Amino acid sequence: MAQVLEFRLPDLGEGLTEAEIVRWLVRVGEVVAVDQPVVEVETAKARVEVPCPYAGVVTARFGEEGTELPVGAPLITVAVGAKAPRPVEAPEAGEATGSAPPATEAPLSAATGGDGTSGNVLVGYGTAAAPARRRRVRRSLLGTGPTSVRASEVALPSPARGEPEEPARGEGPVPVISPLVRRLAREHGIDLMELAGSGPDGLILRADVEYAVRARGRRAPEEPAPAAGIPTPPPSRAADPASVERAASGGERPGATRVPLRGVRGAVADKLVRSRREIPEATVWVDADATELLRTRAAMNEAGGPPISLLALLARICVAGLARHPELNATVDQEAREIVRLDAVHLGFAAQTPRGLVVPVVKDAHAHTTQSLSEEVARLTESARSGGLGPAQLTGGTFTLNNYGVFGVDGSTPIINHPEAAMLGVGRIIPRPWVHEGELAVRQVVELTLTFDHRVCDGGTAGGFLRFVADCVERPAVLLRIL
């Protein structure tokens, strides 16, 4: 006997409270296996595929692509059992309304083999099938369907946050599989809990809903109000009262386009605002001759082996600078009014992707060699551009390196990546007149910028760190003293 189970958007970790549906991977009526991805969602941290912990037939999907759902909101419902009933359409004229077309049988198998449990850990679902309480749906007192039949036992999952398209009320869930039937009932304000299904095991069919619509039309000619508890579709953005008021008052400029701050863009906006509100930042900068650094990189790559990127060399210099000035590898506990200095360096670096700006994090960067840093930076950059980074790879940084020189600019005053205490910015490297060994020469010059939290250190510490970085850029052999 089929059980209709509801799968809700799980907690994806890192304190994320919502996700946007990017792409549905299954259709209504499709058979799914345990741990099969059913939807691709985008959070403020990454784009991920969400696996379903149940094996069965998808009976409903909640939300269109582009819809933002909170954690705990229904994603899909799955009919779990040995047979997959096909959604039943309304009978043709002349057919007996009490009979149902034969259902198409489809064997359902769990990917884990027999027990139907999930191997993926989903917060709120776990790896084992949770026992579902069984309740009996009462026979309707109205008998509005073509035939009154007592509904069989249907498993009802424990209630959670959010509501499905057609929430179950009374003592059990609504015995209906077809989303077409649910939509028809919702459009006409029919309470499915008041109907007795004429299908197998009390299943509510389209004919049952149409009969109820006709019966109510005979009782009340006027347009009925929606039944209590039936969710009202949310107003579209175009019908938003605030938008209407702005248009009526002339406050909306002609041709203006409103872009919702959500997903990655919304997360970045919230973080930048919080950083500017909480961190008293200050900025220092210096020009440096990067000619020798470029020559050193070229010599390293000529020696063979995987190529070393310029960003990896700068990252290695930052790690060495933080070893000398650990005050900058810190965060501030505002509630305790304490500076928390961190032993491990988790180095973040800004990366521009089609989804916007993200900051992948090289964990334990202090334990990497220059070559392994280069390989890890390349791997994370590629994953970031393809949208394959998870929240764990985009959080937990202690210091950020921002190479905005790739955009063809010389300098910037970057906003600190909250809750970190500092960020090093690197401008473009271009030929400029420079005094070298007492003579004017054309050298490859770069502007280095350090923005720091003035609560964790004074200008002397920040200036000392930036001067060390500039010295290593101008004379890479300085690094040999501390390697």
Q: How would DSSP label each residue in 61-110?
A: E-S-TT-EEETTSEEEEEEESS--PPPPPPPPTTS-TT--PPPPP-----
* SS3 state at 237: helix
Q: Which of 188, 325, 436, 454 is catalytic?
A: 454
Token output for 189: 């304000």
Give the CA count within 13 Å in the CB-facing half-sphere of 469.
31
Q: What is the DSSP letter of 142?
A: S
Alpha-carbon gap, residue 301 to 299, rounded angstroms: 5
Burial 451-460 (b: 16+ CB within 10 A, else e): bbbeebbeee
Q: What is the DSSP letter of 113?
A: S
Residues in the chain: 483
Let me know if 454 is a catalytic residue.
yes
Burial 229-257 (b: 16+ CB within 10 A, else e): ebeeeeeeeeeeeebeeeeeeeeeeeeee
Bridge partners (DSSP) listed for residue 39: 24, 50
What does DSSP say about strands 422-426 and 399-402: parallel, antiparallel, or unpaired? parallel
Contact yes or no for 363/346 (Cβ under 8 A): yes
Contact yes or no for 330/341 (Cβ under 8 A): yes
**Residues with catalytic function:** 454
